[in-house]
Structure 1
Amino acid sequence: MNVATLLYGNDIEPQAPPDAGKPDVRLVWWIFVVFYGLMGLGVCMLGRITPPPRPDVGPEQMQAWFAQHATSMHIGFVLLLAITGGAAISNGLVGYHMLRMSSGSVLAYGYIGGMAVGAVPGFQMVILCYSLGVFRPERDPELVRFFYDLGMLSYNGSLGCFTAAYFCLAIAIFYDKNNIFPKWFAYVTVWQIVTEVIASQMWLFDSGAFAWNGIITFYIAVVVFCVWLGALIVFLQVIGAREPVDSAPIV
């Protein structure tokens, strides 16, 4: 059983070789993969944003946390700032394939717009806040706490823009008759919406399951996102290979 049959079922033509499809689409797919790989490195291993620090500590402990991880955070945030444009290219690839759906172009543009707007509170804000937190270690601890809280609440609690983007993607898949994405992926995308809505509770709690480091508001969301992203990466490779090289440009 090939990958396409496993993901889509039997209602699909035989799987195309991995190097099939349009060369420019394959190139952007590789940019997508590299971007998310480097983002994971910068966010998790270097930037210390994921898993998140504790919200229920005092200003001095927050300042000490920045000081403890200052070197790796500097490197991680420089990396993230250098590759941030990869988010636009990655979102554009998803939007490109959404335009191939029979559900129309409005939802594709809605997805791209929602993800573009969400990149500010959900990506750039935490980089700027935490970069400021480690840039001058002699800052007033209360100001450091402001950066600490603002960065993490923006990163994990900015739900509206991404919810709108996931909604557009899910609806487009449900209504699509061209079988670009399998229908079950729409349900995974709906769970992305659910976790974003649940994340709003972190604005009300600074400890426990509903805090920004809680199992309900954060760790469940991480599991759902990893499943969604992993499936998306595979789908984009498969559907890119299935696209005829001589197909008309999408406008």
Structure 2
Amino acid sequence: MQTIAEPEPTPAATTVTAQRIGLWLLPGFGAVLLIAFLAFPGFFPPMSPELTADQVADFYRQHTAMIRFSMITYNLCGIMLIPFFTVIVVQMKRMATPSQVLAYSYLAAVVTGATLFAIADIFWLVAAFRAERDPQLVQLLNDLAWLTFTAPVGMLVAEGVCLALAIYLDRQPRPIFPRWVAHFSLIVALAMTPSACSVIFRSGPLAWNGVVSFWLRIVAFGLYLAVMFFVVRAAVARQAAEQGAAR
């Protein structure tokens, strides 16, 4: 009877190299996404939920080209942040926790967030696809885009909580991530939570264009990416050093 050979384990050096590639995709594609963010005319200032249907339709007619440029860029490049988040998952799986359920939960939350981001992007593109249609329909698509982009923060909160719990439960003498990263992750999750109320308010700080629902959420997420880049880079570098010393 013929036996099936077991697959050879992936070399440790290859594992670290793949993580470094995923890590450095963040600043590269993050810069591209920042350009797309600055190019979208509806973000500076953010469009108001109180605009009339005619005003919304007029906005899409006037800015069709830039809307398409920014949203197509999001569509192509937004998903390229996923490798960075999966590097975080790989590092979470190295933690001495009772199980790896928190790492897989973090990954599920990341995938959910990427899906909702893509849906919001498509709603903006569909609104610009036929800007000459009934203004009421353009307004509906605009509402769907903004609320899908702003309100669903449960997955972001889940990411922060899962990462924090994994760090708190890591019982290694030298944890993968410093303990302060857990505190930071929870603070970011807390800062994003009020955005869920953007489905209720049409004005004020909790509306989708408000200082809390829009700007605090955007700044908190950007700060999270920046801080985690350096934290993860240090963890991957330490893993490479440990594997080199073990050989």
Distance 1:94 1:22 in 2: 12
Cα distance, 1:246 vs structure 2? 7.2
Instruction: Give CA-to-partner distance per residue, 1:149-191, whole Å, 9 cap, x none.
Output: 1111111100222222221111111222342222212122112
Give the match for residue 28 of structure 1: 22
Distance 2:42 2:31 in 1: 15
Distance 2:197 2:82 in 1: 28
Give the match for residue 144 of structure 2: 150
Instruction: Give CA-to-partner distance per residue, 1:10-67, whole Å, 9 cap, x none.
Output: xxxxxxxxxxx9322221211122222222222x122345453111110111112222
| Higher relative contact order (CA closer than 8 Å, sequence separation 6+) | 1
Give the match for residue 109 of structure 2: 114
Q: 1:100 aligns with which of 94, 106, 124?
A: 94
Structure 2 residue 244 is the aligned partner of structure 1 residue 237: no
Give the match for residue 204 of structure 1: 200
Unaligned runs of 5+ residues in structure 1 are 1-20
Q: 1:69 aligns with which of 63, 85, 88?
A: 63
Distance 1:68 1:173 in 2: 49
The residue type equivalent to 1:242 in the other structure is R
Give the match for residue 157 of structure 2: 163
Cα distance, 1:79 vs structure 2? 1.5
RMSD (CA atoms): 2.0
Q: Secondary structure in 2 aligned to 1:205?
A: coil
Distance 1:173 1:55 in 2: 39
TM-score, normalised to structure 1's length?
0.83
Evaluate the alpha carbon distance shift between residue 34 and residue 49 of structure 1 in structure 2; reply closer, same or farther with a 3 A threshold: farther
TM-score, normalised to structure 2's length?
0.84
Distance 1:145 1:102 in 2: 50
Distance 2:179 2:63 in 1: 43
Mapping 1:6-45, distance limit 5 Å: 22-42=16-36, 44-45=37-38
Distance 1:142 1:191 in 2: 39
Distance 2:181 2:32 in 1: 25
Unaligned runs of 5+ residues in structure 2 are 1-14
Evaluate the alpha carbon distance shift between residue 25 and residue 154 of structure 1 in structure 2; reply closer, same or farther with a 3 A threshold: same
The residue type equivalent to 1:106 in the other structure is V
* Greater C-alpha radius of gyration: 2
Evaluate the alpha carbon distance shift between residue 244 and residue 32 of structure 1 in structure 2; reply closer, same or farther with a 3 A threshold: same
30-39 or 58-67: which moved more? Answer: 30-39
Give the match for residue 179 of structure 2: 183
Give the match for residue 79 of structure 2: 85
Cα distance, 1:205 vs structure 2? 0.6
Q: Secondary structure in 1 aligned to 2:240?
A: coil
Q: Secondary structure in 2 aligned to 1:117?
A: helix
Q: Secondary structure in 1 aligned to 2:187?
A: helix
Structure 2 residue 216 is the aligned partner of structure 1 residue 223: no
Instruction: Give CA-to-partner distance per residue, 1:76-133, whole Å, 9 cap, x none.
Output: 2222222243133222111111111112421111100111012222x11211010011
Cα distance, 1:245 vs structure 2? 6.0
Q: Secondary structure in 2 aligned to 1:181?
A: coil
Evaluate the alpha carbon distance shift between residue 49 and residue 194 of structure 1 in structure 2; reply closer, same or farther with a 3 A threshold: farther
Evaluate the alpha carbon distance shift between residue 187 and residue 215 of structure 1 in structure 2; reply closer, same or farther with a 3 A threshold: same
Distance 2:39 2:50 in 1: 22
Evaluate the alpha carbon distance shift between residue 48 and residue 107 of structure 1 in structure 2; reply closer, same or farther with a 3 A threshold: farther
- What percentage of residue pairs aligned between the two structures are identical? 25
Q: Secondary structure in 1 aligned to 2:38?
A: helix
The residue type equivalent to 1:113 in the other structure is A
